[in-house]
Amino acid sequence: MADWQEISGGVTAPRGYQAAGITAGLKPSGLPDLALILSEGDAIAAGVFTTNQVRAACVDYCRQRLQAKAITRAILCNAGQANAGTGTQGWADALECAQLLGEQLNIAPESVLLASTGVIGQRIKMEILRAALPQLVAAVSDTGSDAAAKAIITTDLVPKTIALETTLHDRPVRIGGIAKGSGMIHPNMATMLAFVTCDAAVSPHLWQQMLSRAADRSFNQITVDGDTSTNDSLIALANGMSRTPAITDPGPDADKLEAMLTEVCIYLAQAIARDGEGATCLIEVEVSGAEDEKSACQVARTIAGSSLVKSAIFGRDPNWGRIAGAAGRSGVIFDQEDLQIKLGDFVMMDRGQPVAFDRTAANAYLKQAAAGEYLKSDTVAISVSIGSGPGRGKAWGCDLSYDYVKINAEYTT
């Protein structure tokens, strides 16, 4: 049983955080497009960012800030323009964003972290942003998480938010998160933004280690289309306002907090995969019997990212051969005589041999998942065993539909 409970409030559920989201006019659609997350006091910050060699100005900015000092007060996120591939002027825009927000909040610009999402190659519309910052700052509140979650999305169909609570030393500790992402989703990192807040006190080095491991088990285990982007950022703040003893070393308290942090990240990662562009269902791949967790995760990622597997699931075709083929090309060595494949409750291969199954019923299972209610019964479960080792891992993806091509063919037009 989980040692935490779900609560409302998103990134403002932990103590000492406020948030806001407004319509500044950055998006041509006229939808909300500017968000702010603010900590009442100094917060320890950790981050995981894109591995793409083409990076947005905000990514390089945040990396520099976190390397210099892991103390943060605010996260500013704009939607509409990615400010990636924008050269020296895009970098100057990022610095100005931090400077302007610092002045509005009366904090040091170095205490501001930045994120952007939108069309690559487009600078932030600075004239609009400058005019909107006073309104944004005025809008921050203890209940502003939902507004912020709506303001960071682009092609997403739904905002993504979660908050959990546990106890440490008989005091409540909370972690909240919001995320965006729908297309160009693939590990290392997926095209996504995620912001996590926590009110525990954690040392900077330990908090970064926790977040990196949580990312490996969540955001680096999702795939929609095999592409990663220029702006991917996962930023987590911990401000210590729960007034629990500081966690400075590995141990039971650190393990408990990291488990809850990982759960928040997994929930948000699943929500991104579930909301993949044009998707009709979530695919969850669980691999067991591997030599270690890393190998199991690699096999799971390969299956979840296979265009043939994803297309078959969209077509409601229980074609287990595509799953076997993807597992076999994952780069992980195993004996095919040990291979077992299940689709839901249907065993399709066991000990490397095909198993007769009710194809009509399996087809119905896939149709039921596609018709399932969001976040409840819309998951296609694929279970694969490749041996008798202790390694287990999960990955998440979505089916590949006609609408995915339509959405991306018309993205900038």
| 182-204 tens-digit pLDDT | 644 444 555 589 999 999 999 99
Q: Mind listing the domains of the chain with CATH numbers?
A: 5-274 (3.60.70.12), 282-409 (3.10.20.340)
Burial class (CB in 10 A: 0-12, 13-18, 19+), 192: buried
Per the prediction, the chain carries an average pLDDT of 91
- Identify which of 155, 131, 397 has the alpha carbon closest to the alpha carbon of residue 280: 397
Provide the terminal-to-terminal Cα distance of the chain, rounded to the nearest Å. 49
- The pair of three-digit structure tokens given for residue 155, joined into one six-digit string: 């092609």
Q: Are strands 193-198 and 233-238 parallel, antiparallel or unpaired?
A: parallel
Fill in the amino acid letter for 21.
G
CA pair distance 280, 295, nearest whole angstrom: 29
Q: Which of helix, strand or coil describes residue 276?
A: coil
pLDDT at 34: 98
| 98-150 tens-digit pLDDT | 999 999 999 999 999 999 998 889 999 999 999 999 999 999 999 999 999 99
Q: Spell out the SS3 assignment of 132-174.
A: HHHHHHHHCECCCHHHHHHHCCCCCCCCEEEEEEEEECCEEEE
**Range of weakest confidence among 48-52, 79-83, 91-95, 317-321:** 48-52
- The pair of three-digit structure tokens given for residue 317, joined into one six-digit string: 């075709």
CA pair distance 140, 194, nearest whole angstrom: 19
Per-residue CA distances from 190 to 82, 94, 225, 229 (Å): 15, 22, 10, 7
Average pLDDT over residues 42-63: 92
Place of tokens 């890393």: 294
Residue 361 dihedral angles phi and psi, to the nearest 5°? -70, -40
Identify the active-site residue in 191, 223, 230, 379.
191
Buried-state track 350-383, b at ≥16 Cβ within 10 A, e below 16:
eeeeeeebeeeebeebbeebbebeeeeebbbebb
Q: Is 191 a catalytic residue?
A: yes
pLDDT at 227: 54
CA pair distance 277, 185, nearest whole angstrom: 10
Q: Which residues pair with 22 in a beta bridge?
A: 34
Single pTM value for the model: 0.87
